[in-house]
Amino acid sequence: MQSSQNEIENLMTGTNTVRVQAKAARPSPAKSVKSRSVLPFGYLFPDLQPFRPASDDGLVKLGRAMIAGPDLGEHPNLPAGYTYLAQFIAHDVSFDKTKDIPKTPIQAGHVEQGRTRALDLESLYGVGTPEQNKHLYESDLTHLVVGSTSLVVEGSVSRSYHNDLPRNHKNPQNPREALIGDPRNDENLALAQIHLAFLRFHNKVVDVLSQDSSTDDGSTLFERARKKVVQHFQWIILHDFLPKVVEESVLREAINVGSRKNKWKKLFVPIEFSLAAFRLGHSMLRDTYEWNRFKQSPHRSERLRMAELFDLFRFTGLHGNMGGGGLVLPTEWIIDWTRFFDFTGYNGVVNNPKSNRARRIDNTLAPSLKGFQNFLGHISNPDFRSLPVVDLVRGSRLGLPAGQAVAEKLGLTPLSPAELLVGPHRDILKAAEFHKKTPLWYYILKEADAYHSGTRLGPVGSHILSATFVELIRASRNSIFEKPAWKPDLGQKERDQMGMTDLLVLAEAVNPLGS
């Protein structure tokens, strides 16, 4: 099951993507994309036939069954924080402004995109300069604004903390609106707290650079800080996040190929990436979380409860009302990151024994997602108001190829029909003949289960993620590939390494409420 070296290099050198752009560029009279101002969507495998079942019935049944159980268990070692780091990364790559599922098939180039660049942290800094986004910055237009939590008196907590997103209290329609570069990063609390950590990280980098005259290269302090933050972010993606979720040999191969001068002819965001491979995070969501010392499983006679997935949406300003009508996050809902990442080896930081692991990467999703129809009110067809159904039907409308076709294109042996029929969805797959041609997103999740028992993606998903991230990083105006010998210099544990835990330590955001 080895991949074809020629096909892998074609992914990286643009042999396929010339045709991708030809397909993606056909304008829609209603929704044309201005390529000069946005990063367009396209197809990584434009020569493959779209897989669009004649009826949506099979996709709807399959999607509903994916959240009907059984629960195949949590990941043996992947901390749950990477679920929401993945979502933060995804939002920085693409901003699909489509509100509803298209009623008829459309081309990728017709999708309205909100990103002008990828992996340059537009989601953090906004599109344009600080002068064009003054609402995101302090008066010096260098530090990013950070919000404060509400004053509460519970246990030993009797003050507010700088641990909320900044909010627009002057907005009469939504006084809880987050003043951030991407409003979607306030759609759930774990993601909002990730965004907050990056706000604090940027501000700390500004402070560090302001004391270091050796970094003055003629650019402004803000420009130097943004470049350093972006480059450390890219390093975290390549060397912390991806090694945990893809096959390491595939990632190494993509980085080696990407280090050459060859690259895609035109930059785009592959639909196979955004609508299939990088939707692995939906499988990693948990029903409940050991959130902090106030929101955890009961101990002895304490009257405590864990944070539920639904809580993560209530305590936001985008989908919720801060849990009960407050204008900012209540202090007792600040996250304890020692329960979501592994801080082993950091002086002064102790992992909480009540830690959270992500769910396995497989084709079953958290059962509590069945109750999220209210968050999908923008989907006009009520039959589609289910997260996995949305993923499957949208993939069909946008013309994703079947998983087997992608595997063969990469020179891999596809999963056999018998392998695909193993598990709780056998009857649905057989009735819709999805064991012969399988929706790409489902195929990638099934492949992760078949190859690695859900601990990481299989070869198809690994190739799509690795190739896409390497090329998007290469195209960044602050790319870490500009200098082959570039190394991070802000790591706390090891100076020439950098992970999400290093970022949280430097940002002083690990666990403000204590353990």
Residue 42: half-sphere exposure toward Cβ, Cα within 13 Å: 28
Q: 89 lies in a domain?
A: yes
Q: 123 lies in a domain?
A: yes
CB 512 within 8 A of CB 337: no
What pLDDT was estimated at residue 407?
98
Distance, CA of 144 to CA of 265 (rounded, Å): 35
Distance, CA of 476 to CA of 75 (rounded, Å): 32
Q: 218 lies in a domain?
A: yes
| Residue predicted with more confidence, 454 or 302 | 454
| Residue predicted with more confidence, 407 or 72 | 407
CB 278 within 8 A of CB 44: no
In terms of DSSP H, where are the helices of 151-215? 189-210
In the chain, the number of structural domains is: 1
Amino acid code (one letter) for 429 = L
Question: How long a stretch of residues is the chain?
Answer: 515
- Any idea what the CATH number is for the domain that residue 485 is in? 1.10.640.10
Report how far apart, in Å, the C-alpha atoms of 79 and of each of 21, 229, 340, 342 are: 38, 23, 5, 7
Report how far apart, in Å, the C-alpha atoms of 225 and of each of 125, 192, 457 are: 12, 22, 34
At residue 78, does pLDDT exceed 60? Answer: yes
Q: 75 lies in a domain?
A: yes
Measured at the CA of 92, the angle between CA 117 and CA 145, to 5 degrees, comes to 105
> What is the DSSP code string of 430-488?
HHHTTTTS-BHHHHHHHHHHHHHTTSS--HHHHHHHHHHHHHHHHHSTT-TTSSTT---
At residue 27, does pLDDT exceed 50? Answer: no
At residue 14, does pLDDT exceed 80? Answer: no
CB 491 within 8 A of CB 344: no
Average pLDDT over residues 446-456: 97
71 band by pLDDT with thresholds 50, 70 and 90:
confident
At residue 25, does pLDDT exceed 60? Answer: no
What pLDDT was estimated at residue 492?
84
Distance, CA of 378 to CA of 370 (rounded, Å): 17
Q: 413 lies in a domain?
A: yes
Strand 269-270, strand 288-289: pairing: unpaired
| Residue predicted with more confidence, 16 or 209 | 209
What pLDDT was estimated at residue 97?
87
- The reported pTM is 0.92
Report how far apart, in Å, the C-alpha atoms of 198 and of each of 137, 213, 332, 365, 493 are: 14, 24, 21, 28, 18
At residue 55, does pLDDT exceed 70? Answer: yes
At residue 116, does pLDDT exceed 80? Answer: yes
At residue 21, does pLDDT exceed 50? Answer: no
- In the predicted model, what is the mean pLDDT of the chain? 89
What pLDDT was estimated at residue 122?
96
CB 329 within 8 A of CB 163: yes
Report the b/e string of 376-400 with b at 16+ CB within 10 A: eeebeeeebbbbbbbbbbbbbbbbb
Strand 41-42, strand 307-308: pairing: unpaired
Average pLDDT over residues 189-215: 94
Q: 52 lies in a domain?
A: yes
Percent share of the chain, pLDDT over 70: 89
Residues whose CB falls within 8 Å of the CB of residue 384, separated by 6 or more in sequence, listed in order: 56, 60, 101, 376, 390, 393
Phi, psi of 137 (to 5 degrees): -120, 155
Token code pair at residue 255: 């980085």
At residue 186, does pLDDT exceed 70? Answer: yes
Among 385, 402, 386, which residue's Cα sits nearest to residue 438? 402
Tens of pLDDT, residues 242-301 = 999 999 999 999 999 865 655 677 899 999 999 999 999 999 999 999 999 999 998 655
What pLDDT was estimated at residue 247?
98
28 band by pLDDT with thresholds 50, 70 and 90:
very low
Tens of pLDDT, residues 343-375 = 999 988 999 999 999 999 999 999 999 988 888
36 band by pLDDT with thresholds 50, 70 and 90:
very low
Token code pair at residue 116: 């002008």
Among 292, 370, 369, 282, which residue's Cα sits nearest to residue 86? 282
Instruction: Look up the domain containing 368 and give its range.
Output: 5-506
Our CA dihedral for 50, 108, 397, 241, rounded to 10 degrees, sits at 90
Q: 511 lies in a domain?
A: no
The neighbouring-strand residues paired with 164 are 147
Q: 513 lies in a domain?
A: no
For residue 41, the SS3 value is strand
Identify the weakest region by mean pLDDT among 176-190, 210-224, 238-252, 469-483. Answer: 210-224
Identify the weakest region by mean pLDDT among 147-151, 300-304, 457-461. Answer: 300-304
Percent share of the chain, pLDDT over 90: 77
